[in-house]
């Protein structure tokens, strides 16, 4: 799983970095057009999902958005939170979000949008295996659940990409609900 996540992140980073030189001249002045595609990379800080005292997590995020029209975008993002340990217990948390954006403001280089969608959060816990009285305890376990997302974001057009920031409540309706702050760069690819 860690290798797959590293490959996904590296691929998104290479695509995003290579698109800097190809899209700087093609970038519009903050105006969303039907068919626009953007790929992004960034960081996320999630509060609320975790294990014991490992509640607040920093993670790496990749995303992609497609403009259905000038007011609505559809997209997905994947965040892998950095693994944490407490004693001999290792915890990994990830989330996949399928979101829609409604664009409220699209002026000059500024874009303000609301977001809503579906969140899938996964957690895996590894504990040491201990045998006692003929029984074995510990090992690995994992679980995932589905919830809703609700939030908003802002994008500001730079010369080479769009700087974005998002704030959302993710995983609403489940045990993995959390408050998430995200920030990074989105690169137009068309």
Domain boundaries, the chain: 2-188
pLDDT over 90 at 15, yes or no: no
Closest CA to 80 of 91, 65, 95: 95
Q: 3 pLDDT exceeds 70?
A: no
Confidence of residue 173 (pLDDT cuts 50, 70, 90): confident
Is the pLDDT at 176 greater than 90? The verdict is no
| Higher-confidence position of 41 and 179 | 41
Mean pLDDT throughout 80-107?
90
- Report the pLDDT value the prediction gives residue 38, as an integer from 0 to 100: 96
- Say what the pLDDT of residue 1 is: 47
Evaluate if residue 7 carries a pLDDT over 70. no
Q: How confident is the model at residue 108 (pLDDT cuts 50, 70, 90)?
A: confident
Residue range 146-166: average pLDDT?
95
Q: What is the dihedral of CA 143, 148, 152, 153, to 10 degrees?
A: 40
Cα separation, 59 vs 49, whole angstroms:
12
- pLDDT category at 29 given cuts 50, 70, 90 is very low
More confident: 142 or 131:
142
Judged against a pLDDT cut of 70, whether residue 2 lies above it is answered with no
User: What average pLDDT does the structure give for the chain?
Assistant: 81
> What tokens were used for 92?
């990994």
- The rounded distance, in Å, linking the Cα atoms of 15 and 7 is 12
Q: Which CATH architecture has domain 2-188?
A: Beta Barrel (2.40)
pLDDT at 16 over 70: no
Does the structure show a pLDDT above 90 at 141? no
pLDDT cut 70: percent of the chain above it: 78
| Residue 17 clears pLDDT 90, i.e. is over it | no
pLDDT at 155 over 90: yes
CA 116 to CA 123: how far, in whole Å? Answer: 22
């Amino acid at each position: 799983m860690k290798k797959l996540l590293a490959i996904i992140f590296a691929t998104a980073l290479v695509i995003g970095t290579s698109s800097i030189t190809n899209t700087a001249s093609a970038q519009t002045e903050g105006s969303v057009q039907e068919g626009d595609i953007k790929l992004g990379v960034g960081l996320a800080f999630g509060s609320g999902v975790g294990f014991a005292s490992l509640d607040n997590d920093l993670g790496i995020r990749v995303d992609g958005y497609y403009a259905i029209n000038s007011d609505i975008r559809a997209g997905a993002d994947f965040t892998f939170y950095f693994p944490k340990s407490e004693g001999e217990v290792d915890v990994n948390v990830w989330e996949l979000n399928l979101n829609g954006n409604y664009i409220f403001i699209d002026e000059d280089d500024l874009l303000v949008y609301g977001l809503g969608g579906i969140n899938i959060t996964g957690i895996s816990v590894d504990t040491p295996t201990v045998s006692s009285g003929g029984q074995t305890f510990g090992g690995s376990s994992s679980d995932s659940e589905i919830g809703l997302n609700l939030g908003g974001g802002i994008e500001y057009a730079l010369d080479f990409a769009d700087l974005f920031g998002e704030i959302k409540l993710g995983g609403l309706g489940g045990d993995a609900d959390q408050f998430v702050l995200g920030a990074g760069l989105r690169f137009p690819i068309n």
